[in-house]
Amino acid sequence: MKGYFIITDNAPIHVPEMIDPIIMKQGYTPVYLPPYSPKLNTIKQVWAIIKAKVKRGKLSDVETLTTRIIEASEAVTMVHLQNIIQYSVNQFEKC
């Protein structure tokens, strides 16, 4: 799997000494984001969109938090994802 990467942030649970061998054994290259780099972390940007849609207002009598989360998740389109990825790529180039 030449050319594939696993990108992760620097959360305390992501201990390179422990997970790098596992990642590399699967044929991937581990890449770690710099500390506090939300512009490079695409999942944080996706969650921000979902969170904004979930928090849009009070739940109605027929709505549940689960249905609101599902609806918000389904509203994230392929175009959103492509734009988020392109934004992060542009930010990487500035590093």
For residue 30, list its beta bridge partners: 6
| Gap between the Cα atoms of 44 and 69, Å rounded | 16
Burial of 38 (0-12, 13-18, 19+ CB in 10 A): middle
Over residues 31-87, the pLDDT tens digits come to: 888 877 888 888 889 999 999 999 988 988 899 999 999 999 999 999 999 999 999
| Gap between the Cα atoms of 24 and 26, Å rounded | 5
* Number of other CB atoms surrounding residue 71 within 10 Å: 14
